[in-house]
Each structure stands twice: as C-alpha cells, then as structure tokens.
C-alpha cells in the first residue's frame, strides 16, 4: 500500500532466533536492576498503558512535570544499567556515521497496551537516527508524516524486526495501535518489548 515514508529502513527478521533469546535474557537482568515503571502524562497525570525502563547513560521518563531524559531511575534513584553490547553493535552496523547512542528506552506492552500517535522530539539533536528493535508478540505499527493530519500507513512489527528512522522520517508521527497476543513464544509471560536507541545530546 504505497512506499514507506522516506528515511524508513524496515529490516524484517534482522535478529535471528538465538539473537532474540540472548537479548531477551539480557533484558531480564536489566529490568531486575531497573524495574519497569508506569509513566504518567505531563499535566493531567494520566497513566500510560505501556510500562517502561531504560538502559544506557540516559533514560526517557515522563511524569507530571514533563518528558525528559535523565541519568537516574525515577523510582530506585540508581543509574540505568549499561546498554548491552549487541545493541551498540547493531547501532554501529546500521548507523555507522552517527555518534554513540546514549539512551535505550525499553517499552513493555501487555495485550491491551497501546501508544497513541506522537512525534519523538525530546532529544537535543534529531540528526542521529532512531533504531527500534521488536521482541515478543507482534504489534500493529502506524507511521504518518510530519503533521498529525498527514495520511498514515500501517504494518506489523514482528519479533526480531528492526526499524531505522532517519532523515525526514525521524520526526514522523507514529504509534502502536494494537498487539496480537500469543503470536510469539519468546517472552515467557507474553507481551511485547520494543527497544529504541537514541542519541540525546549534541555530539561534542
């Protein structure tokens, strides 16, 4: 149904089964150290249906005061765990000219979780791409253009799929409309994990 927006690189099944298992295992250790928390929307305090954590030097959080990146977990007050080498390697492979990633947001979706259409614009720089890795149950992803009114396209993200958003697509509106529960056995209790790697600060 038409081409993907310019700058979207969709790499279905980029991570093979063993690589997905390895990453899922490392994420278990990470969320044991940095537990999933449920962010709330700025101003109205509405809870997200997605739970989140982070790894890497900076993590994205949202609370009543706003959206921001910070070096400490909002509940434990501890630094975020380091980013797994396999993720840094993937970034270097797919974005060889970008500065090192500083944040890896870990989104956890249960069967009813969704993410409304939004732009990612909390970073100081939009020059580097955003790299997304999907694990576990499939989800219906929607991506549009640079304004909320632009037409959108939808496609499924399956476990092991990688998405690189660079250039014009870096600021495209996007969201997750629904999950397809029971479509993967990777995560013991079901659900979906999406990882997004980002550069947050301007490189020196």
The site for ligand MD5 (CB under 6 A) is made up of: 105, 107, 115, 120, 130, 132, 143, 163, 165, 169, 172, 174, 176, 194, 196
Helices (H) and strands (E) in the chain, counts: 2, 12
| Number of other CB atoms surrounding residue 19 within 10 Å | 14
Minimum gap (Å) between residue 120 Cβ and Fe ion? 4
Contact between 120 and Fe ion per CB under 5 A: yes
Answer whether 101's CB lies under 8 Å from 155's CB.
no
Nearer to Fe ion among residue 34 and residue 172 (C-beta): 172
Name the minimum Å distance from CB 173 to ligand MD5.
8
**Residue 14 C-beta: closest distance to ligand MD5, Å:** 14
Rounded to an integer, what distance in angstroms lies between the CA atom of residue 111 and that of residue 105?
A: 19
Considering only residues 156 through 175, tell me which ones interact with Fe ion, judged by CB under 5 A. none
Q: Is 50 or 87 the residue whose CB approaches Fe ion more closely?
A: 50
In degrees to the nearest 10, what's the CA dihedral of 112, 113, 119, 125?
Answer: -160
102 counts as binding Fe ion under rule CB under 5 A: no
Shortest reach from residue 61's CB to ligand MD5, in Å: 12
Q: Is 123 in the site for Fe ion (CB under 5 A)?
A: no
149: number of CA atoms within 13 Å, CB side? 0
Q: Return the SS3 of 39.
A: coil
Count residues binding Fe ion (CB under 5 A): 1
* The token pair that represents 177 in the structure block: 């409309």
By beta-carbon proximity to Fe ion, the closer residue of 86 and 171 is: 171
Nearest to 123 by CA among 78, 36, 59: 59
- Name the residues that contact Fe ion, by CB under 5 A: 120
């Amino acid at each position: 149904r038409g081409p993907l927006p310019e700058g979207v690189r969709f790499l279905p099944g980029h991570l093979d089964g063993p690589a997905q298992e390895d990453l899922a295992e490392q994420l278990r250790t990470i969320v044991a150290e940095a537990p999933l928390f449920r962010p709330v929307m700025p101003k109205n305090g509405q809870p997200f249906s997605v739970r989140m954590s982070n790894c890497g030097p900076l993590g994205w959080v949202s609370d009543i005061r706003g959206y921001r990146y910070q070096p400490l977990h909002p509940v434990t007050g501890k630094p975020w765990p380091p980013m797994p080498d396999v993720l840094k390697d993937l970034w270097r492979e797919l974005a060889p000219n970008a500065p090192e990633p500083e944040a890896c947001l870990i989104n956890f979706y249960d069967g009813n979780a969704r993410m409304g259409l939004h732009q990612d614009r909390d970073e100081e720089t939009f020059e580097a791409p955003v790299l997304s890795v999907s694990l576990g149950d499939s989800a219906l992803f929607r991506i549009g253009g640079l304004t909320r009114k632009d037409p959108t396209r939808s496609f499924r993200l399956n476990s092991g799929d990688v998405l690189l958003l660079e250039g014009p697509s870096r600021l495209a509106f996007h969201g997750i409309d629904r999950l397809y529960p029971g479509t993967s056995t990777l995560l013991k209790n079901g659900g979906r994990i999406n990882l997004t790697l980002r550069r947050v600060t301007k490189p020196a």
